[in-house]
Every structure is written in structure tokens, then in C-alpha cells.
Amino acid sequence: MSSETETQPDVAQDGHHGERRDTLTVTDNRTGKQYDVEIDDGTVRSIDFRQIKVSDDDFGLMTYDPAYLNTASCRSAITFLDGEAGVLEYRGYPIEQLAENSSYLEVAYLLVHGDLPTQAELDEWTHQVTIHTFVHENVKSFMQGFRHDAHPMGMLLGSVGALSTFYPDANEIDDPENRYIQTIRLIAKMPTLAAFAFRHSNGQPYVYPDNDLWYPGNFLNMLYKMTELKYEPDPRLERALDILFILHADHEQNCSTSAVRQVGSSRVDPYSAVAAGVGALYGPLHGGANEAVLRMLHRIERKENIPDFVAGVKEGKERLMGFGHRVYKNYDPRARIIKQAADDVFEVTGKNPLLDIALELERIALEDDYFIERKLYPNVDFYSGLIYEALGMPVSMFPVMFAIPRTSGWIAQWLEMVQDKEQKIARPRQIYTGQRGREYVPVGQRG
Ligand code: SDX
């Protein structure tokens, strides 16, 4: 809490405190009153400013922060980012170590539980996910209802939300066992829903999960199995996909995770909250950026067109998709790892010709003052699409590839939010700019 101070704070003549206090002393020049506001973990509580009033019937001060540029919405122990240094850690483990040594399912366990699993815990977790990969048969007829050219992300959005109707007990969010089985189901079923959307787009029969296969391999199986009795994924592609899934698993309070937390704060079931996350990730400024990057590279088409494109960016006519980040003002550590994974995939699939354009675009941008001044570096979306395209996916599947692994981050953040005693239904205020007290005029008398 904080308090209103009538007297001057104990600031010595040389401007130094008598004793150092973690508080902010605020003077309201409208009234001359001073207020001490506590500083906690590098933040001040917005509600502490409500006491600053000019009269007893004054509502008090609010803080105004469109797009939450400088607002912490929660306390979280899941993911740590240092944007200036380009550091990303899941539960304290550097992303570089996890990408090199771990697997996506092990990382999903880490995000949800907070620690790396023992072998027995990992085996049980993997078993639970594996036996929950099937979806209700009605989901297939639901999927058939989409147009042949429906965007897979729209199909995923609809089908994830629809899962809440198959598990009506999922809204018992105070029951730990219930929360756990919904966690398992969401992580397990996202690849199945994604693959069904892909097969629907291609007019191909849906492929059921093969529980003998590893998580990424099973996803490739559901995407690409045709008439062979058993699909055998290339282990190099499986490993590359697993690394991509690790890199995309969580990223603290990004737009889609904030959407999951906000919607989840109404105590709705986790399927509906995750569907909100899918909707937010769909946007071209967020998870849809990997799709926008490929469309941009195809439009550039040749290296010699890059200078004109970059000029268009500087004139504000274009946006360099896959560059820039709200937090990273340095190279996104995930982009660096993805760039390495791309080489492994291209060994199998052959190099994506757009890679040379992407590398040249990055080289030019990193030397250009416009981008340097704005601290615009490649982010996670700049290179990932090149891999997905090399794997034979249409660009419309790229945001879906982001949503699959991000599900473990979304559900980990949802679990943390529903158990956080500080949290309640999220309901921001506003600055009202409209008119007041207008008299209703019958339609016949309106000008
Ligand atoms: C993801 O939040 C997360 O963690 C997200 C994510 C995750 O894992 O969840 O990391 C995943 O969404 C990565 C970002 C993918 N999006 C893109 O690649 C789209 C292109 N990037 C931008 O639109 C932009 O950089 C954002 C949206 C990522 C960040 O936007 P900000 O922080 O709101 O920055 P801004 O739009 O205010 O830009 C600041 C300046 C502006 O210039 P001025 O108007 O001040 O002159 O930088 C310019 C912008 O015009 N700018 C760009 C640019 N990004 C910012 N100019 C050209 N190309 C760009 N990509």
C-alpha cells in the first residue's frame, strides 16, 4: 500500500535520502499533496494511484497504457526474457540448452510442472499424451463443414473451441485432476486437429494418430501418410520439427498468452481460453507473421529486388515481416537456432531457394541505419516459414505450426493464472471520449 504524506519526504539538501526507501514520492501539483507509493519488484501498483484526488468525489487517478507497453499483468515463474541481451529461459533453463538437449514433450512437462521430469515422470507424461491423441469422431464431420479453401488457422480456432463441448466437465477448473486431464488432452490433440485441417484443405482423407510414433513423427504421419501401411518419418525432419516446437512453446506475456489469461480469468474452461489464444496468434503481427514472411519473400522473388523493397519499408509502404519485437531489441535467440535447424532440414528436402533472399535481406537490414536505430532484428518468424515450406506445407499452415507447440505455454500460463490468488476477472477501465447526456430523437425527426 502507500500513504499520503503531508510533510516533505526525508530528502537531504544534497538530494539524497536520509534512509533509502523503496517508495516513489509523488506530488500532485493540483493540490500540493504528496503521496508515497511502494516500489515492489521494479513496479508500482496502479491501484495505489487511485488515492490521488482533487476532491472527495473524484474517482482518483488511473494509469493509461494502450497496448500495455509498460504494464505487468501478472507474476509468473514460467518464462524469463531479457530483450536487450536476447535471453530466453523456460523455468530458468536457457533456450539454447533445451533446444540442443531436450524434446518438446519434456519441455512441455517443464513448462507445466516447473521442473525437468525424472525418466519415470517423462515416460508417464509421454504415455498420457500418446493415449489422448485421438479426437471424437464428430470432429471429422465438424471439419467437413468448412469450405475447401478455409484457412487452417480458422479451422483450428473453431475446432479447439468446439472441444469444450466434448468435455463439459472442463469448466471444473478448481479440481487439480480435472485441470491435469484437460492439459494432457490439449497438448495431445492439437497436432491431430492441425493435421485434420491440413488434410481437409487438400481434400485428402484424415489420418489417425499412430501411437507407436514420437510426438513430431506422429504429426508428420497425420500430415503426409498416404497408402503405405505404416508411415516412417525421416528422423532428421522429426528432430528439426521437435526443435521448432521447443522454440515456440512459450514466450511470457505475448499477445496470445495474454488473451488466454484474460479470457481464462472469467473462469471459462481451458479449451475456450486456448481458442482465444489461437485467435490472437492468427494475426499477421503475431503468429501469422511466419506466413506473412513467406508471402513477402515470394513477392520480392529475386535478390535484385531487395533494395527497392527495403526502400519501400523505409517509406512506410511495407513492413519487414519477421523483423522487430516488442521485447527483443537484439537478435531473437530463437531465430538463430531456427537458422541452424533449417540447414538440417534442407539436407533432406533440398535448400529452399528463398533462403538466399532471406539471408541477403537480413544482411542488408542489419547494416541499415533505419533498422539499427529501431533495433529491428530477425525474430522467431523470419526463418521458420522457410522450413515449413521445405516440409511441403502451404503458407496457410505456418501459424498452425506455431499454435501446436504454443499450446503447452498457453496451458502452463493458464494453470498459473487460475491458481494465482492475486488474479480475478480481468476488466480494464477506459478514458471516455464520447458524448454525454444526449436526448433521444425519433427517426422521423432526424436530419
Ligand atoms: C511474435 O510478444 C511476443 O513475444 C511475440 C512472439 C512470441 O513468441 O509470442 O515473439 C512471436 O509475434 C514475433 C513478432 C512477429 N511479427 C512480425 O514479425 C511482424 C513485423 N514486426 C512488427 O510489426 C513489430 O516489430 C512488432 C509487432 C513485432 C512489434 O511492434 P511494436 O513493439 O509495437 O513496435 P512498433 O510497431 O511500435 O515499431 C516501432 C518502430 C516503428 O517505427 P516508427 O513509427 O517509430 O518510425 O519500428 C518500426 C515501426 O514502424 N517497425 C518496423 C517493423 N517493426 C517495427 N518497421 C518495419 N518493419 C518492421 N517489421
Residues in CB range of 280: below 8 A, 6 or more apart = 255, 256, 258, 259, 286
Are 102 and 81 within 8 A, CB to CB?
no
Q: What is the reported pLDDT for 21?
A: 80
pLDDT in tens, 258-309: 999 999 999 999 999 999 999 999 999 999 999 999 999 999 999 999 999 9
If one compares 328 and 93, the residue with the highest pLDDT of the two is 93
Q: Which of 376, 402, 410 to mutate to test the pocket of ligand 1 (most atoms within 8 A of CB)?
A: 376
Catalytic residue (choose from 113, 286, 344, 368): 286
Interhelix angle for 176-202 vs 104-113, to 10°? 150
Domain ranges of the chain: 1-63, 78-429
CATH for 78-429?
1.10.580.10
In this prediction, residues 299-321 reach a mean pLDDT of 94
Are 105 and 439 within 8 A, CB to CB?
no
pLDDT in tens, 346-400: 999 998 889 999 999 999 989 999 999 999 999 989 999 999 999 889 999 999 9
Q: Which of 379, 382, 383, 408 to mutate to test the pocket of ligand 1 (most atoms within 8 A of CB)?
A: 379
Q: Please give the backbone phi and psi of residue 79, each rounded to the nearest 5 degrees, phi first.
A: -130, 135
CA of 318 to the centre of ligand 1 (A): 12
Does the Cβ of 381 fall within 6 Å of ligand 1? Answer: yes
Query: Is residue 58 annotated as part of the catalytic site, yes or no?
Result: no
Q: Which amino acid is at 96?
A: E
**Cross-sheet strand order for the sheet of 3-5:** 3-5, 33-38, 23-28
pLDDT in tens, 108-148: 999 999 999 999 999 999 999 999 999 999 999 989 999 99
Rounded to 5°, the CA angle 358-364-369 comes to: 135
Q: Which of 88, 254, 285 to mutate to test the pocket of ligand 1 (most atoms within 8 A of CB)?
A: 285
The span from the CA of 130 to the CA of 259, in Å, is 28
Query: Is residue 286 annotated as part of the catalytic site, yes or no?
Result: yes
Query: Is residue 325 annotated as part of the catalytic site, yes or no?
Result: yes
Q: Using the predicted structure, report yes or no on whether residue 14 has a pLDDT greater than 50.
A: no
The span from the CA of 68 to the CA of 224, in Å, is 41
Does the Cβ of 324 fall within 6 Å of ligand 1? Answer: yes
pLDDT in tens, 173-225: 999 999 999 999 999 999 999 999 999 999 999 999 999 999 999 999 999 99
Q: What is the reported pLDDT for 2?
A: 55
For residue 233, the 8-state DSSP code is: -
Q: What is the reported pLDDT for 447?
A: 87
CA of 399 to the centre of ligand 1 (A): 17
Q: What is the reported pLDDT for 7?
A: 43
Run of H or E including 89: strand 87-90
In this prediction, residues 151-160 reach a mean pLDDT of 97
Binned at pLDDT 50, 70 and 90, residue 9 comes out as: very low
- Would strands 87-90 and 79-82 be described as parallel, antiparallel, or unpaired? antiparallel
CA of 324 to the centre of ligand 1 (A): 4
Please tell me the pTM assigned to this model.
Answer: 0.93
Q: What is the reported pLDDT for 12?
A: 37
Are 256 and 281 within 8 A, CB to CB?
yes
Q: What is the reported pLDDT for 19?
A: 65
Q: Which atom of ligand 1 is nearest to the CA of 319?
A: 58
Nearest by Cα to 404 from 140, 194, 95, 250: 194
